[in-house]
Amino acid sequence: MSNRQAEFAQRARDEYGLDIDVQEFPEGTKTAKDAAAAIGCDVAQIASSLVFVADTVVVVVTSGANRVDTRKLATLRGVHEARMAEPDEVRETVGYAIGGVPPFCHDTEVQVYLDEDLTAFETVWAAAGTPRAVFPIDPDDLRECADAEVVDVTE
């Protein structure tokens, strides 16, 4: 386990009492399709943490089978537009690189939204701090730890 993954696992344990099972895949899990292939699950079970700017930085944890509709996100936030955050904005705000952003344990407190489609599964898989590591989690536990609002902001 890399230092970054170990730091995330320790932080999840310290902050939320979670003993997460980080699984590393050398071939990478940067995209939802890559992650699902590596894990052997449906792409819809991948909980992709995407960072957007909609007045402020927010994280949308969406099913790997879905795409975020930035118009819906902007409407939800009460702003005129929303956009994907730039790589430097992602790292500066949440503390992780694109492809490895977990749904919680961010460096800065940000609003987190959870794609309602993820709640249909018993287990989903989320990034564990790097583009090569994921962990399984119950969507209800994910929602609780991330203090996420369940929403429909997908196309």
Give the domain CATH number at 32.
3.90.960.10
Q: Are 20 and 5 in contact (CB under 8 A)?
A: no
CA distances from 78 to 54, 71, 135 (A): 9, 10, 33
Q: What is the pLDDT of residue 1?
A: 60
With a cut of 70, which residues of the chain have pLDDT below it? 1, 28-30
Q: 68 forms bridges with which residues in the sheet?
A: 154
Q: Domain range for residue 73? A: 3-151
Q: What is the pLDDT of residue 31?
A: 77
Residue 113's Cβ-side half-sphere holds a number of Cα atoms within 13 Å equal to 25
**For the segment 10-49, what is each residue's pLDDT rounded down to a tens digit?**
999 999 999 999 998 877 666 788 888 889 999 999 999 9
DSSP tag of 82 = -
Collapsing DSSP states into helix, strand and coil, what is residue 99?
A: coil
Q: How far is CA 142 from the centre of its chain?
A: 9
Q: What is the pLDDT of residue 33?
A: 86
Q: For helices 139-146 and 3-16, give the axis angle rounded to 10 degrees.
A: 80
Q: Domain total for the chain? A: 1
Q: Are 134 and 49 in contact (CB under 8 A)?
A: no
Q: Which residue is listed with tokens 């943490």? A: 49
Q: CA 17, CA 22: separation in Å to the nearest integer?
A: 15
Q: What is the pLDDT of residue 4?
A: 82
Q: CA 50, CA 6: separation in Å to the nearest integer?
A: 21
Q: Which amino acid is at 76?
A: L
DSSP tag of 111 = E
